[in-house]
Amino acid sequence: MGRIEEALKKAEELRLKKIEAPARGKQNQAGRPAVSCQSPGDISATALDNASPLIVALKECHSPAAEEYKKLRTAVLKQMAGNTEKVLLITSPENGNGKSCTSANLAVSFAALGQEPVLLVDADLRRPSVHKYFGIDPANGLSEYLSGKTGTQEIIRPSGIGALFIITAGTPPKNPSEMLSSERMRHFISGLKAGHRGAMIIFDSPPLLNAVDSIVLAQQTDGILLVIEAARTRPDAVKRSLGLLKGLPLIGAVFNNVPEYLSKTLHPYYY
Ligand SMILES: Nc1ncnc2c1ncn2[C@@H]1O[C@H](COP(=O)(O)OP(=O)(O)OP(=O)(O)O)[C@@H](O)[C@H]1O
Ligand SMILES: [Mg+2]
């Protein structure tokens, strides 16, 4: 049985157990001070304050959940070891499976390596949320670039967290699929690769089963991670997603929000 099939089987077992997950977003214990894994001086106090507690890779970097993101980082690096260009797409079958949470944590986890720059791009032009995770202004992002209002350099913002740079989605447009399918988008991706050699470029994206956006993006990326929400994503949704990703560089699945870990903290899990 392949690893993705194993993940699928485990997801179904959990879903059938109908384990009730505790309220989301409560993995930080009240009163526990935020501890960053970045070296002192590599992170601004504002960035640390503004970031969501869900970015455990930043706020609780020695927690079991943060360790899982480090494992995920290692697995991604291994899978993409032969790639000179590292554009990673994070997607999932449906809404709310944890794409943005995974993207934010993985990006911070990569930045903590302190090696190559990391770019986190919010390519979910429909329900953008990367800016919420980092507590930053969403204005002037990818949609402004794609509509020709601004250039690439103007939308790349330092995050205040090591060498992590963020591109927000900007103002949600009326035609997200067309924008992401455009020549300008292809130009944007090739420009990012050319301008940031060796960088890890992570794209957060909309769900696969709701729109063509992620498939369009998947065709331009070097690796794809499929986020499966434990106890919620149904096997048929995963199977349909795998069908859509056939022939594209799927490197693994992230098993998010795993109930047995929830009592301690919330976890991703990589297959
Ligand atoms: N590992 C996790 N631990 C705790 N909460 C989580 C986790 N993953 C996701 N959530 C919660 O689930 C909700 C959805 O997560 P997230 O925004 O990452 O999903 P998404 O797949 O990006 O959603 P959308 O399809 O709307 O873009 C958020 O409110 C977040 O708080
Ligand atoms: Mg999202």
User: Looking at the domain assignment, is residue 254 inside a domain?
Assistant: yes
Please work out whether the CB of residue 232 comes within 6 Å of at least one atom of ligand 1: no
User: What are the residues whose beta carbons fall under 8 Å from the beta carbon of 132, sequence distance 6 or more?
Assistant: 52
User: Looking at the domain assignment, is residue 110 inside a domain?
Assistant: yes
Please work out whether the CB of residue 54 comes within 6 Å of at least one atom of ligand 1: yes
105 Cα: distance to centroid of ligand 1 (angstroms): 11
User: Looking at the domain assignment, is residue 43 inside a domain?
Assistant: yes
pLDDT in tens, 179-208: 999 999 999 999 999 999 899 999 999 999
Distance CA 105, CA 54 (A): 8
**Is residue 3 pLDDT above 70, yes or no?**
no
**DSSP-derived secondary structure letter, 126:** S
Backbone phi and psi for residue 64, each to the nearest 5 degrees, phi listed first: -60, -35
Distance CA 269, CA 253 (A): 8
User: Looking at the domain assignment, is residue 206 inside a domain?
Assistant: yes
User: Looking at the domain assignment, is residue 28 inside a domain?
Assistant: no
Distance CA 38, CA 36 (A): 5
187 Cα: distance to centroid of ligand 2 (angstroms): 24
pLDDT at residue 103 in the model? 98
Longest pairwise C-alpha distance within the chain: 50
> By CB neighbour count within 10 A (0-12 exposed, 13-18 middle, 19+ buried), where does 16 fall?
exposed
Nearest to 97 by CA among 253, 271, 263, 265: 253
pLDDT in tens, 91-113: 999 999 999 999 999 999 999 99
The CATH code of the domain that includes 196 is 3.40.50.300
Out of 19-33, 53-67, 79-93, 200-214, pick the least confident: 19-33
User: Looking at the domain assignment, is residue 234 inside a domain?
Assistant: yes
Range of the domain at 103: 3-18+33-262
Of all protein residues, the one whose alpha carbon is nearest to atom 13 of ligand 1 is 96
Nearest 5 degrees, angle CA 187-CA 240-CA 244? 25
pLDDT tier at 16, thresholds 50, 70, 90:
low
pLDDT at residue 21 in the model? 37
Of all protein residues, the one whose alpha carbon is nearest to atom 9 of ligand 1 is 98
Please work out whether the CB of residue 265 comes within 6 Å of at least one atom of ligand 1: no
Q: Of the segments 6-15, 77-86, 253-262, which one has the largest average pLDDT value?
A: 77-86
**Is residue 164 pLDDT above 80, yes or no?**
yes
User: Looking at the domain assignment, is residue 230 inside a domain?
Assistant: yes
User: Looking at the domain assignment, is residue 268 inside a domain?
Assistant: no
pLDDT tier at 82, thresholds 50, 70, 90:
confident
pLDDT, mean of residues 44-67 = 93
Computed on alpha carbons and rounded to an integer, the radius of gyration of the chain in Å comes to: 17
Count of the separate structural domains present in the chain = 1
Please work out whether the CB of residue 22 comes within 6 Å of at least one atom of ligand 1: no
